[in-house]
Amino acid sequence: MSGGLLVAGTTSDAGKSVLTAGICRWLHRKGVRVAPFKAQNMSNNSAVVVGPDGRGGEIGRAQAMQAAACGLAPDLRFNPVLLKPGSDLASQVVLLGEAVDTITAGTFRQLRPRLAETAYAALAELRATYDVVVCEGAGSPAEINLRAGDYVNMGLARHANLPTIVVGDIDRGGVFASMFGTVALLDPEDQALIAGFVINKFRGDLGLLQPGLDMLRHVTGRPTYGVVPWALDLWLDAEDSLAYGRVLGRPAAPRGTEWLDVAVVRLPRISNATDVEALATEPGVRVRLTVEPAELAAADLVVLPGSKSTVADLAWLRETGLADAVAAHVAAGKPLLGLCGGFQMLGRAIHDPVESRQGSVPGLGMLPIEITFDPRKTVRQSVGTAHGGLPVRGYEIHHGYVSHADPTLAPLLTGADGAGEGAVLGAVHGTHWHGAFESDQFRRWFLTEAARLAGRTGFQVAPDTSFAAARERSLDLLGDLVEEHLDTDALWRLVESGPPAGLPFIPPGPPPS
């Protein structure tokens, strides 16, 4: 068979990514050869995939997570178009893994036909390879101002005749109005593909919800395929940094007598913030994102994460007083960690004719290095060791590189080629590698060292925490939620048979042209 399904949403962060992953996991456990697909993603959270030519390329991190739910290695075709915002007006375009352009809203219109053609071709290849492809939409299909050039929501559904389900987040309120409005704003041809709804993040008595479900079916002629309950344990691999709350996950009680408090600066253009999720899986480690200087003062470990706009976010640090708070933290002898863009900020100078085009600007001056930006983007998976041979795996996505360093500066990591990577100077640590803390032994060593530097002598790492196992538990939980709370027989009929016939048109639809 060559079945397909589109998971659309009433809004961004309605639950499309996790529902897509859950459906993928359910089908995978049934023995179905299933793959994920998102025609176009806009996110600064990306994963590195090795393409057919052996070169590294990028896809949205959510599609890498969905691939794991399918039991597959990530594939560049799972997310053929990735837009990485560098400002409110411009985004880098990554096409089949390779950065090809930087666009604005105006120039996007000229590039859009090429992007759509690439996305449609990738979907066709996947449908020829797998039994089922579960597609994820972007934002809302009712962004009617963008419908004419859409190739990720109803444009994709109409191109491939995909039955579409609409997921809404009831925790935000207004879910019934947003579901009805989503359908009613679409034209008849699009409405004919909207098969029904899924409600996400429900807390309470399902009986109290039933009258609303009944009325939604009455006014739209479409069923609700299920109501997914709120699940506190679903926080790994967030699609968007906006999905983060102040504290990541559900911190388990410490194994020792003290907690380790980690403050992650929430940069305006934060990138691959999922790095710190691995720290949050450890018992006794409380990880929170913050923009408050006072919270840095109270933290044991401060993290400067990755950034899609290193120079602009560095200026923001200074404007908000956070740079002074970071300096005070280091002056007190407490540990600081810089990751990728955050690492670049720690140097003496940044020379950037590429990303910000601001030339040379002073860094925070906490490491004796200088960073220079190159038009060529480093995108690769990395393997190496740390601290006397601890195995480390990670990945790199950056334009900046260390162009000058004090020769006596100690590296944080050693690559497979024997070259040092990153830096350690006193309590200051930095690396270009993302994902390194998913390596359990390295994470335990680093947290132990951070606790020592912070004076948390009662903190103790757990010897048995496995980040890979935590991710698998999360994916299995998604599959369980789909199996237990959705009408999977009805979903299978959609996948197998396509959009139901005779779905009613809900006025008003778009105005006559």
Going by C-alpha positions, the residue among 32, 69, 191, 51 that lies closest to residue 122 is 51
Give the three-class secondary structure for 378: strand
Q: Is 70 a catalytic residue?
A: no
Going by C-alpha positions, the residue among 276, 196, 254 that lies closest to residue 7 is 196
Going by C-alpha positions, the residue among 344, 380, 384 that lies closest to residue 365 is 344
Residue 156's DSSP bridge partners are none
Alpha-carbon 139 to chain mean position = 14
Buried b (16+ CB within 10 A) or exposed e, 463-495: eebebeebbeebbebbbebbeebbebebbbebb
Going by C-alpha positions, the residue among 316, 222, 307, 231 that lies closest to residue 272 is 307
- Tokens in use for 346? 């720690």
Q: CA–CA separation, 52 vs 121, rounded Å?
A: 16
SS3 sequence of 228-249:
EECCCCCCCCCCCHHHCCCECC
Catalytic residue among 340, 398, 429, 432: 340
H/E stretch holding 393 reads: strand 390-405
Catalytic residue among 329, 398, 429, 434: 434
* Half-sphere exposure of residue 69: CA atoms within 13 angstroms, side-chain side: 34
Q: Is 404 a catalytic residue?
A: no
Buried b (16+ CB within 10 A) or exposed e, 31-56: ebebbbbbbbbbbbbbbbbbeeeeeb
- Tokens in use for 298? 């109270």
SS3 sequence of 52-107:
CCCCEEEEEHHHHHHHHHCCCCCCHHHCCEEEEECCCCEEEEEECCEEEEEEEHHH
Helices 467-485/61-69 angle, 10° precision: 70
Give the Cβ contact number of residue 178 at 10 Å: 20
Q: CA–CA separation, 308 vs 45, rounded Å?
A: 10
* Half-sphere exposure of residue 212: CA atoms within 13 angstroms, side-chain side: 19
Give the three-class secondary structure for 46: strand
Point out the residues that are catalytic. 340, 434
